[in-house]
Amino acid sequence: MSPLPFGVLALLAAGPASAGEIACRFERGALVAPGVMAGIAGDYIIDTGAAQSALHETKAQAEGIADTDLTGDVRLAGQTVKALPLKVADLDIRTWNLPTPVAGVIGADALKGFVVDVTYAPCRLRLSSAGETPRFAGRTLALGWDLGRPTAEAAVSDDAHQIAGRFVIATGANVPVRLADDLAQTPGATDAKELYPQGVWLARLPQVDFAGATGRDVATGLMKPEGDVVGVLGASVLAHFRLRFDFPGARLIVDPVR
């Protein structure tokens, strides 16, 4: 098994998208694509690791929406999910470093009825109905759920310890790895609170193993324990693979980028 250097892949030029497939962008570690939520068109972070889709509070207020909870249709890649419960939330922590304004996050609640194909370079996103998918080869992992988020097996290790278990697979999370702080230690950190989502620092993790590939010296943050997962694998790790989230079939198919 040859090592894969987990890092941000360069965004390549995208050609015309076929029916049911759209061009996306891989920006600052997040997957971004055009969509429509509650009648509001814009660029959205596409994040399987978000349990509930949400409008950015700033965008919602600009559109005259004062509620924090609403129901609306979500349209993405030629597919529509009707009457989805949506949140309005402050998403500045997720969008502050993106080069273009983002209208919100389209999450697992909107995606779970489809087979979702993701390629980061060149960036492509396809949503298909079960039984209407193009051929896709790769390693198959069992896809589970935790607090409304899809999970798969992975492992992390330092020079002395290994932690294996289920990680949230988050196509739009902009940190390569986050680990639950009841499992991880950061003895060299001068201010550990800066390793959490509201902070500005990242530590280095010696090794990450996912779908038969090994990444070394991976940027890593902390998170408070959520559900029964070890942590989160973000887009900068996933960008080294073509991914098929076969949500109806409860499987994740992973093909390393060669």
Give a yes or no: residue 5 inside a domain: no
The mean pLDDT of 62-89, rounded to a whole number, is 96
CATH of the domain at 217: 2.40.70.10
Give a yes or no: residue 1 inside a domain: no
Range of the domain at 56: 21-128
Tens digit of each residue's pLDDT (9 = 90 or more) over 143-202? 999 999 999 999 999 878 899 999 999 999 999 999 999 998 776 666 788 999 988 889
Q: Model-level pTM?
A: 0.90
Let me know: does 244 contact 33? Beta carbons within 8 Å.
Answer: no
The mean pLDDT of 108-137, rounded to a whole number, is 93
The answer on 70 and 156 residing in a single domain is no
Give a yes or no: residue 134 inside a domain: no
Give a yes or no: residue 198 inside a domain: yes
The answer on 70 and 25 residing in a single domain is yes
The answer on 182 and 97 residing in a single domain is no
DSSP bridge pairs for 164: 155
Residue 5 has pLDDT above 50, yes or no: no
* pLDDT at 190 (0 to 100): 61
Q: Is 95 helix (H, G, I), strand (E, B) or coil?
A: helix
The answer on 147 and 115 residing in a single domain is no
Give the DSSP H or E segment for 110.
Answer: helix 108-111
Give a yes or no: residue 67 inside a domain: yes
d(CA 251, CA 127): 15
The answer on 95 and 34 residing in a single domain is yes
Tens digit of each residue's pLDDT (9 = 90 or more) over 219-239? 999 999 999 999 999 999 999
The answer on 87 and 168 residing in a single domain is no
* pLDDT at 188 (0 to 100): 61
* pLDDT at 8 (0 to 100): 30
Give a yes or no: residue 6 inside a domain: no
Examine the fold and report which residue of 128, 160, 185 is the final residue of a domain before the chain moves on: 128
The answer on 157 and 252 residing in a single domain is yes
Q: How many domains does the chain have?
A: 2
DSSP bridge pairs for 46: 106
Give a yes or no: residue 202 inside a domain: yes
* pLDDT at 103 (0 to 100): 97
Burial class (CB in 10 A: 0-12, 13-18, 19+), 235: buried
The answer on 112 and 26 residing in a single domain is yes
* pLDDT at 2 (0 to 100): 40
Examine the fold and report which residue of 128, 162, 187 is the final residue of a domain before the chain moves on: 128
* pLDDT at 160 (0 to 100): 82
The whole-chain average pLDDT of the chain stands at 90
Q: Which of 62-76, 90-104, 178-192 has the lowest mean pLDDT?
A: 178-192
Alpha carbon of 63 to those of 67, 100, 195, 247: distances in Å? 11, 18, 34, 32
Give a yes or no: residue 9 inside a domain: no
- What does the block give as tokens for 147? 């607090």
Tell me the percentage of the chain whose pLDDT exceeds 70. Answer: 91
* pLDDT at 187 (0 to 100): 62
Residues 6 or more apart whose CB falls under 8 angstroms from that of 97 comprise 28, 174
Examine the fold and report which residue of 65, 97, 128 is the final residue of a domain before the chain moves on: 128
The mean pLDDT of 250-258, rounded to a whole number, is 94
